[in-house]
Structure 1
Amino acid sequence: MTDIIHIKKIADIHKALGLPAPKHPLVSLIQIDDKVTGYDYGDFTYVYDFYQIALKSGITGHIAYGRNHYDYNEGCMVFTKPGQAQQYSRTSGVEEEKGWALLFHPDLIRRSGLASQMDSYSFFSYDTNEALHLSEREQSILCELVAQIEEEYSQNIDKHTQRLIVSNIELILNYCTRYYERQFIVRQNHNLDLMERVDNILRDYFDSERAVEKGLPTVKYLSESMCMSSNYLSDMIKNATGRNAQQYIQDHVIERIKNALLSTNEQVSQIAYGLGFEYPQHLSKLFKAKTGMTPVEYRKSIN
């Protein structure tokens, strides 16, 4: 197990990289250059107490957190949030790396409307192999916005500074939401293949009677089987079907219940235990919420 280095302040990053002290204690734009890329991060795990939005160009190495690694290439963005464990390494033969990293502390946005919206930006919980890839035009838009943030905190700070900085951060995140949706659409054929894998995993889970032993399949189980973060999987499924991962699993379970009700004479309790429900009433409650009928009423209505 590697040692963990906990970085609490943005100023500590500046100090470690040999950069001047940040002009604002809660936000900083770091240009990625030889000084940054040449830093020896060592064989450590880093945990930061602030958000990071990074844009890198050029195949330069990889960053890892969780169980996945990602090799940076042209126009790649990665988002991390406070408390995520990260490791860094470099690839030999790298000639050039460029880009920027926007760092901002939760205290910067704490009293703003953005604070309550941060959880809606699910890409902060994506794994790094689910990074955002930008066109040149998209890169240009985001670079202009981060330049405005840098310009704002580089001036004399006044009562408007924080609000304007936060507004630009929110605009960046909203643009990235749009770009991720575009990426899902561009990868539609690939995502259809992934949806087929999702269906196969769910079918195998029930057909192998794993549900009897382990209960109903969870989003966590499905995402791990797909080697994806739960948030990315849910967003991919929602883009393809209009339902999130939990709803998709529930709908699969409902179809299983319907098939069992129509093709067997099993009692509702037998069906419930066979599908992994802890109590039969949980099946009945879910079924009525989804169909408007109890399982018995559904069976009678079809027969």
Structure 2
Amino acid sequence: MIVQCDKSLHSKTIHPLINIGCLSDISNTFIETGFYRIILKDRSSCPDFGRLCCDYQDASVIFLSPEYSLSCLTSEDLSFYKKSIFLSFHADLINTSAIKKHFNDYSFFNYRQNESLHISLREKKILTTRFDDISDELNWGIDKYTNILISGKIELLLNYCKRFYTRQFITRSEVNRCIIQKTKRLIDEYFFMNKISEKGLPTSDYCSNNLNLSSAYFEDLFN
């Protein structure tokens, strides 16, 4: 595997809009705003991140939007991340590439951490290969093709993550059936208490908040 726990990745920027490596330490560069982050965490010494008994146990993938800063984590939280592989890329890289047109399809950047992706060993190998491909391109050197190739490799990585999340919704079918039943009861109660006259029709935000889910995860579950 090419991606290694090399602190030089944090002290020297290979590309101003993207960084990749191992979180052997948390640098100021990593917690700057404006970056999307994907963290691949091994099962060992890993918190649950919402893992259920029906989920795979080999690794977890956490997605962080630019609004989320690791600086708000406690020292105990950070200890879970330090041995993780990460990919960090700035919104400007997306905004100047073809992926911008459908980037909103990757709604898992708006999920909560307890709605993380839990993957099998086979899926983990696929994702680490994608990380390696991006690392290879970064170490090639910057030229006029760099951003095109890197954004394409990021898109491939995200498409695999989207596939694996779809699989996770399927393997969680029984759990999701319970959520749907709770949603139905919540809506029935909403109409029974005549909240519609005061607040209008119940929204996905209303339902997801009452179910302790992010609205993005709630909507994707129903889709």
TM-score norm. by structure 2 comes to 0.83
1:116-155, Cα deviation, whole Å (9 max, x unpaired): 2111111111111110001111111111111111111112
1:249-270, Cα deviation, whole Å (9 max, x unpaired): xxxxxxxxxxxxxxxxxxxxxx
Corresponding residue SS for 1:159: coil
The answer for the alignment partner of 1:128 in structure 2 is: 113
Unaligned runs of 5+ in 2: 1-5, 52-56
Contact 1:28 1:104 in 2 (8 A): yes
1:145-204, Cα deviation, whole Å (9 max, x unpaired): 111111111122222221111111000010011000000000001100111001000001
Contact 1:56 1:98 in 2 (8 A): yes
Task: Look up the equivalent residue of 2:159 and give its one-letter code.
Answer: N
| 2:158 aligned with 1:173 | yes
Report the Cα distance in structure 2 between the residues aligned to 1:194 and 1:59, rounded to whole angstroms: 29
Corresponding residue SS for 1:158: coil
The answer for the alignment partner of 2:138 in structure 1 is: 153
Deviation at 1:90, TM superposition (A): 4.4
Change in CA separation of 1:140 and 1:234 when aligned onto 2, cut-off 3 Å: same
The answer for the alignment partner of 1:80 in structure 2 is: 64
Contact 1:56 1:74 in 2 (8 A): no
Contact 1:60 1:91 in 2 (8 A): no
Q: Rg larger in 1 or in 2? A: 1
1:105-144 paired onto structure 2 within 5 Å: 105-144=90-129
1:1-303 paired onto structure 2 within 5 Å: 19-33=10-24, 35-36=25-26, 48-57=33-42, 58-60=44-46, 70=49, 74-84=58-68, 87-91=72-76, 98-238=83-223
Report the Cα distance in structure 2 between the residues aligned to 1:18 and 1:166, rounded to whole angstroms: 19
CA RMSD of aligned residues (A): 2.8
- The number of residue pairs the alignment matches comes to 208
1:226-270, Cα deviation, whole Å (9 max, x unpaired): 1111110011111xxxxxxxxxxxxxxxxxxxxxxxxxxxxxxxx
Corresponding residue SS for 1:23: coil
Task: Look up the equivalent residue of 1:79 and give its one-letter code.
Answer: F
Contact 2:35 2:65 in 1 (8 A): yes
Contact 1:31 1:100 in 2 (8 A): yes
Corresponding residue SS for 1:231: helix
Moved over 6 A (4+): none
Unaligned runs of 5+ in 1: 1-13, 40-45, 63-69, 239-303
Higher relative contact order (CA 8 A, sep 6+): 2
Change in CA separation of 1:85 and 1:215 when aligned onto 2, cut-off 3 Å: farther
Report the Cα distance in structure 2 between the residues aligned to 1:101 and 1:181, rounded to whole angstroms: 22
Corresponding residue SS for 1:138: helix
Task: Look up the equivalent residue of 1:24 and give its one-letter code.
Answer: H
Corresponding residue SS for 2:84: strand
Structure with the larger strand share: 1
Change in CA separation of 1:113 and 1:131 when aligned onto 2, cut-off 3 Å: same
Report the Cα distance in structure 2 between the residues aligned to 1:54 and 1:210, rounded to whole angstroms: 41
Report the Cα distance in structure 2 between the residues aligned to 1:113 and 1:47, rounded to whole angstroms: 24
